[in-house]
Chains A and B, each alone.
Chain A
Amino acid sequence: MSQPVAPPPFHPSLAELFRAFVIVSISGFGGALPWARRTIVEQKRWMTTEEFNETFALSQFLPGPNVVNFSVVFGARFGGAPGAAVALAGLMGPPLVIVTVLAILYARFGDVEALSRILAGITAAAVGLLIAVVAKMMAPLFVRRWNSAPAFAILAFTGVAIMHWPLPYVFLGLAPFSIALAWFKR
């Protein structure tokens, strides 16, 4: 099997991989990435910051949840297919159990007034977090000279949020042009 990157000096066992991603998953309130970095780079020292960033760049390049991709890429690098499976199981296992319990509770008590009020408060706060994420992503886009980025962001927003067009249509309609412009302005 071909190794994607030069083999690291230290190989965690499958059990260690599993435990590390269990820790990442149950610590990762509001995004597991900072916890992945802390566990893997600072505590376990399985990767340098540069290696971590490069592995994470691959996870971001792919569609789907970044942290889930990261667990697969990281696990594959240290332990091939079994490593990827174990890291993914560690990341998804505990949250799946917890969320399934919450799903059962919600199915039974979702109509309870107090619960619905608490969730309304949390949703209002979560919307604020999304706005902060958007604001942080926006800053570098508007600073750069290449200024078609805001137009594509606005078009994607309008297509999905205002027009209610299906995401695949909006994506396939905009991505080729956005990528082509990024190519020519590079």
Chain B
Amino acid sequence: MNDSPLLTLAGYFAMLSLFAVGGANAAIPEMHRVAVDVMHWMSDRQFADMFAIAQVSPGPNIIIVTLIGYHVAGFTGAAVATTAMCGPTCLMAFFVSRVWDRFKDAPWRIAIQAGLVPLSLGLIAASAFVLARTADHNVYAGLITAATATVAYFTRVNPLWMFVVAGVLGLSGWL
């Protein structure tokens, strides 16, 4: 029984959770770097597939870590990765919520939040870039991306419908 992949998963996702300002979407490039480029757990394509599965699954998108964990080390890996990604921040949320009233209007609190917004913006843009290199490999895929971006920006259509349309177009062999 080799438990080193489990230790890697636990340590890595616990660390990542603390830097994931902006949530799951901001953490995607770092997950991609480690899972594909550093640890060679999976290919570009497999990473993009898991991202897509997490998107169409109900619940928080951070659930991609469950898929990565399962791919690396089965059920144990899925449990370890999910706990490591959610545990530290949940504990932090619990304890901070009890003292939040004391500093919610503090200038330093507002400055920290304002200072982190541009970073999470850059990281989410990096997610789009990293995934687009795999997903948008021809003009039709690029058109789906552009169309979805436009619809999502200007309307409140449920993203699920865009996934359905894009999935059907993908199945029909245009991509």
The residues of A with any CB-CB pair to B shorter than 8 Å are: 1-2, 4-5, 25-32, 54, 57-69, 72-73, 76-77, 81, 84, 88, 91-92, 94-96, 98-100, 102-104, 106-107, 110, 114, 116-138, 141, 148-158, 160-161, 164, 166-168, 171, 174-175, 178-183, 186
Contacts and interface: CB of A to CB of B under 8 A. Distances in A.
A28 B111 contact: no
A103 B71 contact: yes
Contact of B129 (A30, A60, A157): A157
Nearest to A140: B117
B67 A123 contact: no
B62 A65 contact: yes
Contacts, number: 365
B117 A149 contact: yes
Is chain B's binding surface mostly helix, strand, loop or mixed? helix
Contact of B122 (A110, A130, A153): A153
B21 interface: yes
A27 B151 CA distance: 21
Interface of B: 15-21, 23-25, 27, 29-30, 33, 37, 45-46, 48-63, 66-67, 70-71, 75, 78, 82, 85-86, 88-90, 92-94, 96-101, 104, 107-132, 134-136, 141-142, 144-153, 158-160, 162-163, 165-171, 173, 175
A91 B82 CA distance: 13
Given A5-B101, A25-B59, A126-B163, A103 B70 contact: yes
B153 A127 contact: no
Contact of A183 (B88, B111, B145): B111
A182 B36 CA distance: 35
A62 to B, nearest CB: 5
11 contacts: A25-B60, A84-B94, A94-B58, A98-B59, A102-B53, A130-B125, A138-B121, A149-B121, A164-B37, A166-B33, A182-B114
Is chain A's binding surface mostly helix, strand, loop or mixed? helix
Contacts of B145: 124-125, 127-128, 131
B24 A65 contact: yes
Contacts of A84: 90, 93-94
